[in-house]
Structure formats: C-alpha cells, structure tokens
Amino acid sequence: MIKNIHKWFLFSMLMLMLFMPIFQSTFNIFEIKPLDGSFAQIEKADFKFFTWKRWFDESFQNKINKAIEDNIGYRNILIRLYNQLNYSFFNKTLTQKAVIGKSDCLYEEEYILDYTGYNFIGKKTIAQHLLKTKKLQDFLKKDKHVDLVIIYAPGKASFFPEYIPDKYKPKAKTLSNYEYYAEMSNVLKINHLDLNKWFILMKDTSQYPLYPKYGIHWSTYGMHLAIDTIIKHIEKTKNINLINPLWKKITATDSVKDADYDIEKTLNLLFKLPSERMAYPEIIIKEDTTKDKPNVLVIADSYYWSIYNSGIPQKVFGNHEFWYYNYTIYPDCWGDNARYVDKNNACENIEKQDIILLMITELNLCRGFFNFTDELYNKYFPDTPKDEIYDFKLWYLNFDDKRKALYHKADSCRTTPEKILDKMAYINHWISNKYK
C-alpha cells in the first residue's frame, strides 16, 4: 500500500511539473521578472502565419516552435537558473559580450583586445586619421568658429588590467590604439581631453570607486567627476563661463543602481552578485541668466548615456544633441521612432554649433571616431586625393560582424588582425584599380 502511494505521489509530482509551465503560459499565474539585455523574442504562436508554402518550406513549423519555446511558462526563471549554475560552478557566462575576470571583475572582450594591443590598426592609419582630424579642427575653429574637442573616455581594461584573465594576456603587451591615439594627439597638439589617463591617475586616491566591479561604464560618481571636467574644458576652450553643477551631498550605499551593474544585469543570473559600496552624488543646478549657454553637439558611444540621462547637459548647454555612434540621435535610437543623423546636411548642422564633443572609449578606437571626422573632412576638403587603402580599413572596422570575422581569421592564421586587414585593403585596392 505504501509502495503504491509512493508511486502515485511521484507520478503526481511528475505530471505537475509537466503541466505547470503550460498553466503559467496560459493563465499567467505568477508574475515573472523579464530577462535583461537585447534579444529578439517571438510573440505567442499565431496560426494566421500558416500557408501551404510556409508549411512545405518548414518556415511555419520553425516559427511556431520558436514561439512556443520563447513563451513557455517559467522560461525566464529556468534561464536564470541555468545561467547561475554555469556562473557559480564553471565560471562561465552565456552572453558573448561578458568576460569574467579575476576577483569576479566583469569586462567586455573588446576592451581587453584594445588594451593588450591585439586589435591595433597600425601607426600609419592612426597618424593619417589624426592628421585629417587636426586639419579639420583648425579649419572649423578659424573659419566657422566651431571648436571640435576629442575626448578619450576611460576604459575598464586600462583601469583594471590586474583583473584581466590570463588567457587574454600576451607574453608582452603591444602598443594599443588608445596609447598611440593619445600620444599622437599630444604630438599634433590636437584639442583633446584624456579622461582615461586622468582616471588611471586617480585610481589609488579617489575617495569612491571610479569603476564598478560589475559594470562596463564609469561609475555614477566617476561620471559626475567627468562632466565637471568637461564643463571646465569647454570654458577654457571657448573662454566663457558656464553654469557649474553644485554637489549637495554624496550618498554611499551597498544598493547599486543606474549603470553601476549593467554587465551583471545582462548575465540574467538567479541571484544578485555581492554588492560593493558605491557613491551617488546629489547635484543642484541653479539657473543663472548671466552664464553662457553654448550650442553643443556630442558624437559618442554609450559612455555618454549616463551623462545625457543625468539631465546636466540639458541645463548647462543651450541647444544640445547626442549623436549615438554618429548614426542615430539619442534617445530615439531604436524601434520605429528612431531618428537618424542627416548626413546630407552635415555642414549646415555642424555650423550651427559652438562646440562639438567627440567622445570615444578604447573599445571603439579601432572605428576611427565612427567616421565622423572623415565624413566631415571630405565635405570641406573634397579635392583631397583619396586613399583607398585607408578608406577601406576604416569602412571595414565600423562593422561589428566584419571585425569579429577579422579576429577569427587572424587567430586561425596565427597572425595579427592588423596584418590581415593590411592584406585585405591592398587586395581591394588592386582589384578596384584593375577593373576601373
């Protein structure tokens, strides 16, 4: 009798486990926390998609299977559990971007690739790029009264090299894109602000963390230091007086927020990682009609998100726009309502500005300032002879999939991405000239 009860109990538990996901997906019994990050999830199965053509080419079956998998009950919890097991027992993440460093410090891989010099694009390419940037910078200031300032944002790999996993460390660190860009910017006397160098110098003396352990961007505290420094640099460059944010108080807490754990969120773990003590300044901005409010255009990567979202630029500057990757206009960057940069009226848009801030972190230096300076240079100096090899390199490196393919090719050939890219550029140049 007891044996039969055990059998029925086990059978009942098994059936309950099988039907619980169905009940959850049908009746939404419990509210399940959504997954973080960017991914495509298909809505619930819609049989209106059916046609005989889609049936025979199997596109209907594939879509329905994917829809059922994406909407099965407790899916998000099970994914978080699976991710947690991989993280806790195997020190692995299932997102391609995240790298677990020593002491559980989290990175994105391409920051490491730049710091170690693996993805170096070459001295000649960087020098060409900065020479054009310098000529453009001088022209805009003299003829259009527009100041172009290059800002080298901090990078987590440069800030925390001691936590980089050993598998990424070469026998000898080679020259990085950031190092050569910073060096040549000084040599050419380009108007630039090196926040990466500044953060590294403050690393051991800062009262609060400048970088979070589980985030990829500067900490909220570090961001506020950065915007203060940027404002002062604008004042010096333009010889004007801006409204300066006032620090009312700083709250230090173990409850991290904002972007201070943005990589951790994308891991989609079941449990939060141990909190570190972070600082959150409370800022006051007093309106002052005696202060200048220049028109400021910012071309930047995601490091400018937290500055923009703080609301400080909107109160300190006059007309203010943020061109994300020189492609979309933040915050309307995604979806059907996305706004795109108008490249046809580039000169007109630029000449409306008082100052242009071009902010870029080490992750993106291989992209060549998102082609912003090159596109503008070609507008103002159209008679300059074209360099097809240089143009091909920067065009190629602005595509994520092409860069990844380049790295895979370099690894398989046991050489550097720079050498592979050089060969590709020369072959492209030879073919284009042969068939002109």
Is 184 in the same domain as 329?
yes
- Placement of tokens 């998609």 in the chain: 49
| Helix pair 195-202, 220-238: axis angle to 10 deg | 130
User: Could you tell me if 6 and 112 lie in one domain?
Assistant: no
Beta bridge partners of 151: 193, 359
Give the separation between CA 26 and CA 74, rounded to whole angstroms: 11
pLDDT of residue 186: 97
**Same domain membership, residue 404 and residue 323:** no
CA–CA separation, 157 and 108 (whole Å)? 9
Range of the domain at 300: 98-384
Whether 67 and 113 map to the same domain: the answer is no
What pLDDT, on a 0 to 100 scale, did the predictor assign at position 169?
77
**Predicted local distance difference test score (pLDDT) of residue 436:** 58
Question: What pLDDT was estimated at residue 49?
Answer: 65
Query: CA separation (Å) from 142 to 129, 260, 346, 357?
Result: 20, 41, 18, 17
Q: Is 45 inside any structural domain?
A: yes
Per-residue tens of pLDDT for the chain, all 436 residues = 555 666 666 666 666 555 555 555 555 655 656 666 555 555 555 666 667 777 677 766 676 666 656 566 556 777 777 878 888 888 888 776 788 899 889 999 889 999 999 999 999 999 999 999 999 999 999 999 999 999 999 999 999 999 999 888 766 688 999 999 999 999 999 999 999 999 999 999 999 999 999 988 999 999 999 999 999 999 999 999 999 999 999 999 888 876 888 888 888 888 888 888 899 999 999 988 899 999 999 999 999 999 999 999 999 999 999 999 999 998 877 777 888 888 888 899 999 999 999 999 999 999 989 999 999 999 999 999 989 999 999 999 999 899 989 998 998 988 899 999 999 998 888 877 766 5
In a domain, 301, yes or no: yes
| Domain end position, chosen among 340, 364, 384 | 384
**Amino acid code (one letter) for 69:** E
Taking each helix axis from N to C end, the angle separating 195-202 and 177-187, rounded to the nearest 10 degrees, works out to 110
Residues 375 and 427 in one domain: no
How far apart are alpha carbons 373 and 436 in whole angstroms?
Answer: 28
In a domain, 83, yes or no: no
pLDDT value, residue 182? 97
Tell me: do 323 and 376 sit in the same domain: yes
pLDDT for res 183? 97
CB neighbour list of residue 326: distance below 8 Å, 6 or more residues apart: 299, 341, 369, 370, 371, 372, 375
Are 184 and 242 within one domain?
Answer: yes
Q: Are 144 and 258 found together in one domain?
A: yes
Which among 25, 43, 76 is the end of a domain? 76
> Is 87 part of a structural domain of the chain?
no
Q: Does residue 389 lie in a domain region?
A: no
Of the residues 76, 107, 127, which one is the last residue of a structural domain? Answer: 76
For residue 213, is it within any domain? yes
Give the pairing type, strands 246-253 and 278-284: antiparallel
**How high is the pLDDT of residue 86?**
83
Supply the pLDDT for residue 48. Answer: 66
3-state secondary structure labels for all residues of the chain: CHHHHHHHHHHHHHHHHHHHHHHHHHHCCCCCCCCCCCCCCCCCCCHHHCCHHHHHCCHHHHHHHHHHHHHCCCHHHHHHHHHHHHHHHHCCCCCCCEEECHHHCEEEHHHHHHHCCCCCCCHHHHHHHHHHHHHHHHHHHHHHCCEEEEEECCCHHHHCHHHCCHHHCCCCCCCCHHHHHHHHHHHCCCCEEEHHHHHHHHCCCCCCCCCCCCCCCCCHHHHHHHHHHHHHHHHHHHCCCCCCCEEEEEEEECCCCCCCCHHHHHHCCCCCCCCCCEEEEEEECCCCCCCCCCCEEEEECHHHHHHHHHCHHHHHCCCEEEEECCCEEECCCCCCCCCECCCCCHHHHHHCCCEEEEEECHHHHHHCHHHHHHHHHHHHCCCCCCCHHHHHHHHHHCCHHHHHHHHHHHHHHCCCHHHHHHHHHHHHHHHHHHCC
Do 208 and 346 have their domain in common?
yes
- The pTM for the full model equals 0.84
Burial of 71 (C-beta count, 10 Å sphere; 0-12/13-18/19+) = middle
Confidence (pLDDT) at 270: 80
Is 399 found in the same domain as 380?
no
The pLDDT, as a whole number, for residue 147 is 97
- Which residues, in sequence order, are CB contacts of 36 under 8 Å at separation 6+? 265, 266, 268
304 and 425 housed in the same domain: no
Domain assignment present for residue 92? The answer is no
- Taken as a whole, the chain contains a residue count of 436
Residue type for position 43 = E
- Do residues 115 and 362 lie in contact, with contact meaning Cβ atoms separated by under 8 Å? yes
Residue 284: HSE in the Cβ half-sphere, 13 Å Cα cutoff: 7
Question: Same structural domain for residues 136 and 279?
Answer: yes
Provide the sign of the torsion angle of the four alpha carbons 388, 390, 391, 396, taken in this order.
Answer: positive
With CA atoms as reference, report the closest residue to 296 among 192, 150, 195, 147. 147
Rounded CA gap, 35 and 81, in Å?
12
Residue 81 lies in a domain: no
Domain count, the chain: 3
